[in-house]
Structure 1
Amino acid sequence: MTPRIGIIPGDPSGIGPELTAKLMAAEGIREAAEILLIGDRCVLEQGMRQAGVDHALVPVDPGDWHAPSDGIAWHETETIAASEIEVAVESAASGRSVLATMDRALELLQAGHIDGLVFAPFNKAAMHMAGLAHADELHHMGEWLGVTGYLSELNVLDGMWTSRTTSHIALRDVADAITPERLEEAVDLIDRTLRRSGIARPRISVAALNPHAGDGGNFGREEIEVLRPAIEAMQKRQMPVDGPWPSDTVFLKLRDREIDAVVTMYHDQGQIALKLMGFERGVTVQGGLPYPVATPAHGTAFDIAGQGRARVDAMRQAFDIACDMVANWQ
């Protein structure tokens, strides 16, 4: 079955509209999936001008649509006027556009009109200016879709995956937030997501919290009292996980493809490693949602917005991962 992928252009003030236009011009995209663009005409046309490409937008009924031969299927929204778009500026108007377009895409996912979603970068500050009540878009999506289970962003680069035991919290609060239950949820989530992306037998390692994995308790006891017992309990249940490994070496195992994923203890522990290896190609998968949702891991890049310089690599990888997840979703 050909995946049906919805794509929204992200923050109108950033590089999202340009990336969307460039993705539509990339080789093999329209053969890989039926694509439904979801967004305002002025935003999509702005992206085409920035990218120096021209696509025919073909209006379709989102309840009964197929990819047309003479253009790109398009579900129109009306969330922002062209005069309200300030390129390279955080604004409540752009934030409202993002929230409205995202919610419409979630409606289409719930109704079964699309199988997966790819969104160009959002700007959290603009979304909060517009009334976002959560720390990030993942938890907004989770509440909107009625998800009660564990949610966490998963980061992907060239087939290397990371998940987080804790995420958007202060570093001083991390140690207290790490519990056996939280670690097990993080391992289980990335295990399920890897299988849904086509990896039948995932290999997962856990990063330690403390230097040298605590050095036998000299530099902290979280590895002894929390992490190792939780990992051993998961291994007894045949979960494919090992560790805890010192975080300054575990990513070498990931880079060398000895493992498929690292479960980190906090946000930057995994982000720094993957972004150093390929900032312009990284992807964030919205883990724990009932549908495949992916986005570039980089931001709205206001420093180059509107200049036609944005690289489409991460947007393409997000699209490819969404297609793979649709194909393997169970």
Structure 2
Amino acid sequence: MGDVAGVGPETIIRAALSHKTEQTCRILAVGNPQVLQRAGDLVGGSLTIHEIAHPSDLKTATLASSELPCWNPCDPDVADVPPGRVDPRSGRAAYTALVEATRAALNGQVDAVTTAPLNKAALHLAGHHYPGHTEILAQECGVDEFAMMLYLPPDPTIGGEYGFGVAHATLHTSLRSVPELLTTTRVRETIELVDRFMKRIGCPTPRIGVCALNPHAGEEGLFGD
């Protein structure tokens, strides 16, 4: 659901109303149904929220085309958070929704997780001191090596048989701190991680390029290392 005081609920509703989404998957919203219904009323249309007790219930639920199934593992008080307000209740709900959705995926109850924007300040106010989604997902999945990749599947407009992805060597940090964090070891580990991932999705010989921190890529030391 993301942060209830932000655009997360509205984004979920718009995705559910999209014909492209309807053709590719079945959505299960994870979050507070009252918040999602308010977002639905704001966006417009005839979508109504249908709450289910557990993700496994989605397989047997009888739903009209105008109903969006919703599983709510969050505390009820999050429905009282006003829009645009940084609030620990919304941070707690965003964390709970993400963690429970991830566990449902790991248990095979859902096939994938799509995240909505969360507010880092609200997350920290709730006592969850993570930089963002990526680190929470890594902890729940029990992995030490991870990176965020923006990935486009194969498409005639971008070319390439295996799509196009961009992985970050640094993440959730200030621009000022990047030169200190961007070490040879970190770059190598990210390259190796991307190589393994691309092979897992069927690309036998990944072609990996590295974007330089300095615009001139160093020029043999004239413009940085």
Per the shorter chain, which TM-score range?
A: 0.7 to 0.9
Find the counterpart in structure 2 of residue 92 from structure 1: 88
Are 2:14 and 1:52 equivalent residues in the alignment?
A: no
Q: Is the 8 A contact 1:166 1:177 kept in 2?
A: yes
CA separation of 1:199 and 1:57: change in aligned 2, threshold 3 A:
farther
Instruction: Write the distance in 2 (CA, Å) between the matches of 1:197 and 1:56.
Output: 36
Instruction: Write the distance in 1 (CA, Å) between the matches of 2:220 and 2:164.
Output: 29
CA separation of 1:87 and 1:28: change in aligned 2, threshold 3 A:
same
Q: Is the 8 A contact 2:33 2:70 kept in 1?
A: no
CA displacement, residues 215-241 of structure 1 (integer Å, 9 cap, x when unaligned) = 1222233xxxxxxxxxxxxxxxxxxxx
Which TM-score applies when normalising by structure 1?
0.57
Instruction: Write the distance in 1 (CA, Å) between the matches of 2:19 and 2:202.
Output: 23
Q: Give me the identity figure in percent.
A: 29
- 3-state SS of paired residue (2:165): strand
Find the counterpart in structure 1 of residue 55 from structure 2: 62
Q: Is the 8 A contact 1:42 1:81 kept in 2?
A: no
Q: Is the 8 A contact 1:39 1:75 kept in 2?
A: yes
AA aligned opposite 1:151: F
Greater RCO (Cα-Cα under 8 Å, separation 6 or more): 1
Q: Is the 8 A contact 1:165 1:186 kept in 2?
A: yes
Instruction: Please list every run of 5 or more consecutive structure 1 residues that lacks an aligned counterpart in the other structure.
Output: 1-8, 222-330
What pairs up with 1:1-330 in 2 under 5 angstroms? 9-60=1-52, 61-66=54-59, 68-70=62-64, 71-81=67-77, 84-148=80-144, 150-156=145-151, 160-194=164-198, 202-221=206-225
Deviation at 1:136, TM superposition (A): 1.9
How many residue pairs match? The answer is 212
Aligned-residue RMSD, C-alpha: 2.6
Q: Is the 8 A contact 2:30 2:72 kept in 1?
A: yes
Instruction: Write the distance in 2 (CA, Å) between the matches of 1:83 and 1:178.
Output: 41
Deviation at 1:98, TM superposition (A): 0.6
- 3-state SS of paired residue (2:13): helix
Q: Is the 8 A contact 2:33 2:51 kept in 1?
A: no
- 3-state SS of paired residue (2:58): coil
Instruction: Write the distance in 2 (CA, Å) between the matches of 1:193 and 1:54.
Output: 41
Deviation at 1:63, TM superposition (A): 2.6
Deviation at 1:204, TM superposition (A): 2.3
CA separation of 1:173 and 1:44: change in aligned 2, threshold 3 A:
closer
CA separation of 1:195 and 1:15: change in aligned 2, threshold 3 A:
farther
CA displacement, residues 66-88 of structure 1 (integer Å, 9 cap, x when unaligned) = 27441333223342436622101
Instruction: Please list every run of 5 or more consecutive structure 2 residues that lacks an aligned counterpart in the other structure.
Output: 153-157
